[in-house]
Amino acid sequence: MQRRSQLARVCCTAPLRLLILMIPLNAYAADVVMYGYLDLGVVKETGTSTRLDRGFFNYLGVRGEEDLGAKSSATFNLQMRFSPDTGMQERSTTLFQGESTVGLKNAALGHLRLGRAMTPLWQEKWRYDPWYDSASMGSLEVYNGDFNSDGLPTVDYHNYSRVGNGVFYTSPSVGGIRFNGMAEAQLAAGATARSRGMAVNFGEETLTAMISYEKNHLSDNILYAAGSYRMDQFTMIGAYSRTDFSGGGASQRSMLLAGTYAINLNLLRFGYGRLNGSLGRKTSVGYIYGLSKRTNIYSDVYREKISSSKTGLAIGFTHSL
């Protein structure tokens, strides 16, 4: 009889214990968001076989924000990259290749993050390539201030646009102006300098502008400037960059002119870029057909000449989580 009584107490209290455990989890989960993006298309380029490739980066992430009161919050962001055609990590040596940060945010003071993330240059300049700096298919990323934020030899370029062991700061918007800054907390193995950079961004919609300066592990320097202007459905885009490489006096310049034209959920995009005058050039035209706010079909036609000429045709679809 005593054993039955004990069992009854356990059975009756188990749901209550489970509910007590679930309450804080549910309260916290309300501030946690899982997000992601899927992009895969069929590509055919001059002199190569037809292949599956991405038009933009594929990623899966989870981010969260906990209210601390006084208009302050704690934040975290974990994002991994993968290749949907194989299911493998896109950067095999880094699990959370996209970002792994923890931080504090205040409405009046800004957002401070620690960990691994995009540099201020890369965090914002994707806005000035109609293909979002994907470096694939029709993208003009190479002509949009392309810069190795690491500079050191790496197997898979996982630090090409990111910095680990970094301190990142984003200011509140004041009169439409925002400031992003980054500094590496420790010197990386093989580096001659700590990576550091800053960017000043103006505007959000009709008129935007950006200017950025960055130095990588080899003390290479880049200066980048870009802007956009929207008139109803049409948006004009322009960007210019200059990279000065340390030790040899060499430099690299890039220029981009582009635009988009929105038609409801659809988007026509086009652009032209040049690298070091005649070293390289690319012309791209693309169209995005919106099936919904989260699902699109896209097509690109592009021609590029660096050491030799190639023409490409791509068609694919995307879905955002």
Condensed to tens digits (0 to 9), the pLDDT of residues 58-96 reads 999 999 999 999 999 999 999 999 998 888 988 778 899
Per-residue model confidence (pLDDT) at position 91: 78
Torsion sign across C-alpha atoms 244, 245, 249, 255: negative
The predicted-structure confidence for 286-302, as pLDDT tens digits, reads as follows 999 999 999 999 999 99
For residues 10 and 163, which has the higher predicted lDDT (pLDDT)? 163
Mean pLDDT of the 118-125 span: 95
Mean pLDDT of the 195-199 span: 97
> Which DSSP string do the residues of 222-243 spell out, in sequence order?
EEEEEEEEEETTEEEEEEEEEE
Looking at domain 40-320, its CATH class is mainly beta
What is the rounded distance in angstroms from the CA atom of residue 254 to the CA atom of residue 252? 7
Q: Is 309 helix (H, G, I), strand (E, B) or coil?
A: strand
Domain ranges of the chain: 40-320
Choose the weakest-confidence range: 64-73, 155-164, 192-201, 290-299.
155-164
For residues 11 and 219, which has the higher predicted lDDT (pLDDT)? 219
Q: Rounded to the nearest 5°, which phi and psi values hold at 137? A: 55, -120
Mean pLDDT of the 271-295 span: 92
This prediction has a pTM of: 0.86
24, pLDDT greater than 70: no
Distances (CA, A) of 130 to 100, 136, 196, 219, 226: 26, 12, 27, 30, 13
Which run of H or of E encompasses 25? helix 2-29
Per-residue model confidence (pLDDT) at position 179: 97
Contact by Cβ (8 Å): 302, 137: yes
Burial (Cβ within 10 Å: 0-12, 13-18, ≥19) of residue 12: exposed
Per-residue model confidence (pLDDT) at position 157: 77
Per-residue model confidence (pLDDT) at position 132: 94
Average pLDDT, the chain: 88
